[in-house]
Amino acid sequence: TLAGLKPGEHQPYLTNSAVLLAPLAGRAPGSVAPGDLIAARYDKIGLLPFGEFMPLQGLIPQLRQWIRGGGTFTPGTKPASFDVAGMKLAAGICYEAILPAMTLKALRPEDQVLLNLTNDAWFGEGDERHQHWTLAVWRTIENRVWLLRATNTGRTSVIDPAGRETARAPESQKHVLFAQVRAADMGSLFRSFGRWFDWLCLAALALGMLETWRRKRT
């Protein structure tokens, strides 16, 4: 979580953010300004309703009184890529990885890997942690890219573009996971055409229902 001030405003705001720290090797002590520490930053766009923000609060101000615990985070405005070892990683945070449209928007043409940083502590030791992981795996298949998923209590693993887990860390333990990741430039229909396939399926269903209704009438 990062706090800051918007230009021209005096009210502080909070963001759920992922940052890529800049390498400091070879830099003289005292020569690094605070702004030099962050090489890239991503502010979470898809905030969790009732957890990170309170929906409909403008229409129903009493919601925050009725539902305790809702956050007041400010959503990010644009995707971000992290450049690591010559590879472009599309940054994502937590439940954004279960949303196909959100992941599609996060992936830029030059991005080769999905990076997802997840807080699964909400679920304790429940099975929801594994359900969360399973839903995230589908993003690799849809977009034909690698997924690097790092969690605090859930399933930290590396997934290849076919949805296969190639490396996995012990759950709920401090661990450094080493794995080989190759740049993938396979492309996919979903990444190229987005949700058009969904609409085509709905159109085909509607035409099928219309044809069935027409035959019954005749």
Taking alpha carbons only, the member of 87, 141, 88, 139 closest to residue 118 is 139
C-beta neighbour count of 15 within 10 angstroms: 18
Task: For strands 113-118 and 146-151, give the pairing.
Answer: parallel
Residue 216 lies in a domain: no
Taking alpha carbons only, the member of 89, 99, 85, 2 closest to residue 48 is 99
Spatial separation of the C-alpha atoms in residues 46 and 42, rounded to whole Å? 12
Query: 85 with 65, same domain?
Result: no
The per-residue b/e assignment along 62-82, b for 16 or more CB within 10 angstroms, e otherwise, is eeeeeeeebeebbebeebbbb
Query: 91 with 134, same domain?
Result: yes
Spatial separation of the C-alpha atoms in residues 40 and 74, rounded to whole Å? 18
User: pTM for this one?
Assistant: 0.78
pLDDT for position 7: 55
**Residue 172 carries which side chain, given as an amino acid letter?**
S
C-beta neighbour count of 117 within 10 angstroms: 20
Query: 133 with 118, same domain?
Result: yes
pLDDT for position 113: 92
Spatial separation of the C-alpha atoms in residues 66 and 105, rounded to whole Å? 34
Residue 74 lies in a domain: yes
* Domain housing 114: 80-187
Query: 181 with 98, same domain?
Result: yes
| Six token digits for residue 212 | 């069935």
pLDDT for position 121: 81
Question: What stretches in the chain show pLDDT beneath 50?
Answer: none
How many domains would you assign to the chain? 2
Alpha-carbon distance values, 143 to 33, 43, 84, 191, 193 (Å): 38, 22, 20, 5, 11
CATH of the domain at 120: 3.60.110.10
Reported as a single tens digit per residue, the pLDDT across 81-139 is 999 888 899 999 998 999 998 899 898 888 889 999 998 887 777 788 889 999 999 99
pLDDT for position 14: 84
pLDDT for position 188: 83
pLDDT for position 78: 92
Query: 93 with 168, same domain?
Result: yes
| Six token digits for residue 143 | 């977009």
Query: 74 with 101, same domain?
Result: no
First to last CA, the chain: 63
